[in-house]
Each structure stands twice: as structure tokens, then as C-alpha cells.
Structure 1
Amino acid sequence: MKGLKENFQKPHILIVGAGIIGKFNALELSELGYQITIVDPTLDKNSSSAALGLLMGYMYQKRNGRSWILRKQSHELWPKWIKLLQEFNPELHIEKRLIQLTTNDVKFEKLKKFVNDNTNQGLEILEKDSIIIKNINNIFKTKNIKGVISHKDGRIDPQSLLDTLNVYLKNKKINFLKEEIIKIKRFNKQWIAASRSNNEIKTDAIILCNSLNSINLIIDKSHKIKLKPVLGQALEICTNLHEVNLLSLPKHFNINGKNIIPLTKNKIIIGSTDEYHEKPEENVFEKLTDFIENKPSWLSRERVTRKWFGIRSRPEGEPSPIQKNLENGLIICTGFYKNGFLLAPSCSHWVANELNKYFI
């Protein structure tokens, strides 16, 4: 990218998409002095608001390549951003410890080997006789659960984080537009984004963070970027059985691929599915509760008090996420699949570096 050093005003950046990636890019770029406009037809009703907020990095078993580098970098960056955002919400924090469990003996042996091969990483094997396992077995009426715990991974409440980012961005006087961008073009040294309501926004650069819709705005079709939808559903289940105390469970854990988050003594979240289309499947209860063979009486369809879904995007033919500098002043940063909350800091760091190359 060529520089715009003759422009002495702070560059104006248009971010298309107001999910976690768009807002985190706005966070870092505003700290660097850029003028920011975020545009999204829904603003706060997107896939990010349906996320569970799990941050799995050190438990990730592939310890090389781009995906591992991004995860590791994000874990290193998260404390800095949490500290900054706590000025606007002192309650915001990452709830540490993430547990991965299985009933499959072969998978458990692989998990044990991974822990033993990666010492000093905050990983610990959970055997059958541990207190954590005993509590889980008691609640779910099982006997064969075992796994590992990561003391460095965890969860951040997604809605609390998004709300805090909104407060920060408004404090920084970030411009929010509830518009749908349908076309972008480059004119001289600026970009012009046209909305469905016939408004035009002139900026120095555009960052596409609007998931599946981002590829519709790419002018040069030679980039051949492809994204497919991945719909994820989650359930909230409530039980009134006095002998069941869901708060005796870990604060967030995974059993055979299903994420479980106890909310109160009698309320729990289970998610999520991987459905490769944009309409939610109807048999979601069976799909989300198949992590154990014999379900306890409280884990029943009649106890479902809420269900929701979000549509994420996953790249086809290349790794997730897509981070590309397409042309002068046009960046795409999307296709994070399940890892938007985890990788938001490394994403915004990469985007900031690309823009700094251009403008400084």
C-alpha cells in the first residue's frame, strides 16, 4: 500500500460490520487516533450477540501454523484491552479455567498425551476421582467422564463485552450509522461507500468485517474469496428439582463437543450446533443433548426456556479467518467461524499494522 503522508488530518476509516470484530477494530484504531465510522443495518443484533464467549487458546492442540500464532497473540493482548475497558465497566473480566471432557477413552488418551507434551502451559489432567469430575457425574448421572483443564483459557461474557465496547466507542465519539452498504468504489485517493438509502460515505480506507455480506462488496472478483454460513444454536434449560444445583458444576466446560455454561442454581446454557445453512434445524434439542447417553430427568425438552441462534461465516478453500489487504485502503477481516471473540485482539492488531503502513 502506498502512503498518504500528504494528508495531515487524521485518516477517516469506515468499518463495515458492528460485531465483535468491527467493534474491536474500532477500539484499537481509535486509540491510535484514527477517525472511525461504523456502519451496520442492525448495529447490535448480529451473530456476536448470540455467541457464548469461550476463549480457547492454550487448550488448542495444534501448536504450529497461523491459527496457533493468532490464538497465542490474542491471549497475550487480552489483558491490555481488559484493563482499558474496565475503566468503563469495572465488572468486565475473563473468567479463567476452561474444561474439556470426553467419554471416549481414545480421545482421553490423546488429551493426556497433549498435556504431558506441553508442560508449563497451565494444563492439567482430570482423572475420574477428581472433585470436578465427581460433581459433573453427579449432576448428569454419568460415570465415564474425564478430560483436561486449562487454567489460562476461559470465558468472557459476550453481551457484557459488547455493551462495554459500545460505551467506550460512544465515549470516543465514534460515529455509528444504521445503514446497509451495497457498493464501494475508489475515487482518486478516497473510498466512497454507497448505502441502500442512497447516502454516500467518503473515507480514506474501508475495513470489511460484515461476515457473509463482505464478499458482495469486493470489486475485484479475481480475489475469489468464498464464505459459507455456519449456523449455531443454543438452548437455555431450567430445572426446579431441589436436589439439582447446577452451580456445583464448573463455570464453563465442554463435554464431547457441546459447550455448557451454568447460569444459576437451576438454569444452564448448552450450545452450540454446526449447521451449514441459514435456517435453523428443528431437532436442536437432540443435537445439543447428545453428549451423554442416558440423560438425567431434568435435561428434557419440556425444560427449555429459551433458544437462539447466530450465523457465522467460514472460509472455503482457505484457513479461517480471512485477513487480507485487497488493495489500497481496502481490507477484509472476516470468516472467524467460532473464534471471533478469542481472536478479536490479534485481528485488530493486524489491521492497525496494515493501516499504519499505509498512512504513516
Structure 2
Amino acid sequence: MEPICGLDALPHPVSAPKRRIAIVTDAWHPQMNGVVRTLTTTSERLRAQGHEVAVVSPERFASIPCPTYPEIRLALPRPGAVAAMLRDFAPDAIHIATEGPLGLAARRHCLARGVRFTTAYHTQFPEYVARRTGLPAEWFWRYIAWFHAPARRVLVATESIGTQLRAHGLSRLHRWSRGVDLAHFSPGAVQPAAYAELPRPIQLYVGRIAVEKNIEAFLSADYPGSKVVVGDGPALPALRRRFPDVHFVGRKTGAELAGYYAGADVFVFPSRTDTFGLVMIEALACGTPVAAFPVPGPLDIVTEATGALSETLERAIDAALYCDRGDCAAHGALFSWEAATRQFLEGLTAAEPAATP
């Protein structure tokens, strides 16, 4: 079984020639989620290092609302439009980040011209679609295996996700972790004034408010204290009506978001379908322990010192409250965008043919 390649052990940045990198993604602004934040930050870091980055995203095309998820726009590229953009940019490396219409167009172009490319598995797509359609997830795993099979490397965030992909026949894997902006997310962030009025312990959720995030499991948990939800999404109106005692505060960013993390007693991550969970490492960097289910993502990030995992969220919340906040902050600080960007670049290099002597 081939291991996931990566740069976890490298102590110093890898010097690399400046590159022309095309990133093709169906997830982009104005969406706000872990995929968009990861791609945005990675693009910014690459440009800061002197690389030239072109992002082929839905904002460059006409689009329609995604069925059952109107906040997500599906691009409608004209035949050959994505291929023309890639030819005009003439990249040294092509990374296809998502499996949607733009990703399919880029994949088709690369295969037709014999161009090597990398992909990434950001989202538990089969489980998401199965949750929304009621159809078996295995049907959609066939599409995932087909889509990623020609890639020279499939970039994955954790070993648990790598194990899932290997089980579906994908073995050319490369580790691409995630990072935290420690300038914002730290234990010293100023907590919101509203926290002073709330009964403790404050249990916090941050992220998209959508059915696949399994937020209802958190809001239904029978544990004393206060529940706070940061974020928005299609499930928000229904959850507001059903859980009137929960404090829904809307979307927050930057220093304000960091304050919500730092002032909470425990961060609850109820999702069973995320591939990583960027919000978990942001919470840890702010010194807040994590309570979650024992599934991929939490299994790869949360340690006994920094949170608790249980099939019963109440038990996980209770156990996490005993964690040392200093240990949580130290663990969260280990996830840097510098290291993650190095891993991304190394994944592109691994996809290239060997140099001719």
C-alpha cells in the first residue's frame, strides 16, 4: 500500500523555481467555506513567493444555482472555454481542485493533450450528495474514482481520507495539510461582550449551516450551558425556529471570529463528512478544546490532550472541558500555511515527469 507522500518532516522551506500555476475550481468567492479559504490562502502564499497563479473559477463564467444548494453557483462554460484559458496562460502545472463542471472541463483538456495534472479531494462528495438525494453514497464514489484516476497525484489533507481513497482504488496520494493564521487566531483574542451574559460552559459551532454539517446533532445535545452558532447557510431559518434558545450570531471573520473561538469553553464539530475541518485547528489555536465524533477529520486532528471524540456528543463535550487550553493552543500553532503551501508545491513537483539527464 503506497503511503501518502508529504513534507511533514522537513524543518525548512524548500527552495523552488518560480512557476506558472493554474488552479481550476468550482468553489470560489462569494462562497465561504474551508475549500474556498484553503484555495484563496494558498494562491496568496504562492503569489507572495513569486509564483504566477491563475485561478479558473465560476466568477469568470455564467452560472446557475446548484440544485438543493442555491448558494453554490455551477459554472456554465462554453465548449472549449476552459481549455482556451489554460492554453493562453500556458501553465507549468495544472491543479484541478474540484469535481464540478470546471474541473471536468479542465480534466478533459488535460487528457486530450496529454498534460499531467493534479487533483485534490477536498469534500466528502459522495456522502454530501447521498445526504441530499437519499441515494447510496457508493454510487457517487464510482464517479470520484473515475474523476481522480488519471491524476498524477491526488492531494489529501489527512491519512484517514487517504485510507478511504485507497479503498476505492486511488493510490497516487500526496499529503496537503492546512494552516492557521496565527496573527488572528490565538488565545489572546478578545471575546465578544455578549459572552459575559451567557451561562457557562459556552459551546460553540462555526461553519456553514447546512444539512451535511450535521449541526442538528449539536443543537439537540442535552448538555447544560449555552450554545452559540457562528455562520450562515440554507438550514439557518429552520434551525432558528426549532432551537429558539440557541444563540445564532451570523457570519464572523478575522479578529471578531477569533474572539468567539477564544471565549468559548468548548468547540463542537458535529460533521461526519468533512475531509479536514479547518475550523477545528482555528479553535485549537485560540486555546479552545474540540468535541467531535470519531470520524475522519477529528480522528486526524484531535488528541487526548486537545479534545475528546465520542459517538455521544454530550460525553465528548464533557471530557473536552477538562483539557488544558495551553496544550490546545500549542497543538493548533503546529498547523502553518507556510508548511501547507510547501506541501502543495511538492505535490505539483511529484506530478511532473523526471528530469532528463
Q: If the TM-score is normalised by the length of the shorter chain, which range does it land in?
A: under 0.3
Structure with the bigger percentage of strand: 1
User: TM-score under structure 1 normalisation?
Assistant: 0.26
Normalising by structure 2, what TM-score?
0.26
Q: Which has the higher contact order (CA 8 A, sep 6+)?
A: 1
More helix by share: 2
